[in-house]
């Protein structure tokens, strides 16, 4: 996946080449991607919420502009047919991937609903804010599911004075 900043770089290059200040130099662009992919290594995802407090920096402004470019796209075609993992031998795998991606339950061919087999798999996130929010949600859900009270304990670091007598 590309970042908001990278989309801005693509736009700027096309504006320079075409001599046209319209989005992407006024040419049609086809974006093909998988929204289930991991986030870009650096920069904000195209669909991420942007913190407007970052607009004081050049990088922040490029991120916001890239996000606005992404939101300016007016025609979207969604591909829903799975080609690479097609066939009956891959049906269970495709169902599991869908479950993992959408956070849904799997319904078996007999009509029974089972929890996704990957529901306890590790979750990888790209920042501490997402990790903290996920931990809070999971702890709250666990406490509710088990009928327990959730207790919050906060700690702080205590350091002895370097000059204290030992």
- How far apart (Å, rounded) are the C-alpha atoms in residues 109 and 106? 10
pTM of the model: 0.51
- How far apart (Å, rounded) are the C-alpha atoms in residues 43 and 106? 34
Mean pLDDT of 105-113: 57
pLDDT tens digit string along 116-127? Answer: 565 666 778 888
| Confidence check: pLDDT of 159 > 80 | no
- How far apart (Å, rounded) are the C-alpha atoms in residues 5 and 75? 22
């Amino acid at each position: 996946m590309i970042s908001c900043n990278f989309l801005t770089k693509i736009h700027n290059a096309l504006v320079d080449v075409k001599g046209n200040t319209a989005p992407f130099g006024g040419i049609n662009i086809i974006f093909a991607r998988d929204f289930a992919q991991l986030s870009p290594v650096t920069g904000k995802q195209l669909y991420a919420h942007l913190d407007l407090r970052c607009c004081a920096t050049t990088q922040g402004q490029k991120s916001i502009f890239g996000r606005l470019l992404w939101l300016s796209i007016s025609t979207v075609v969604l591909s829903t047919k799975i080609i690479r993992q097609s066939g009956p031998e891959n049906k269970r795998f495709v169902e599991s991937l869908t479950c993992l991606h959408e956070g849904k339950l799997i319904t078996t061919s007999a009509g029974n609903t089972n929890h996704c087999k990957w529901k306890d798999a590790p979750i990888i996130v790209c920042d501490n804010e997402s990790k903290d929010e996920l931990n809070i949600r999971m702890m709250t859900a666990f406490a509710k599911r088990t009928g327990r009270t959730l207790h919050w304990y906060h700690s702080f670091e205590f350091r002895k004075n370097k000059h204290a007598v030992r």
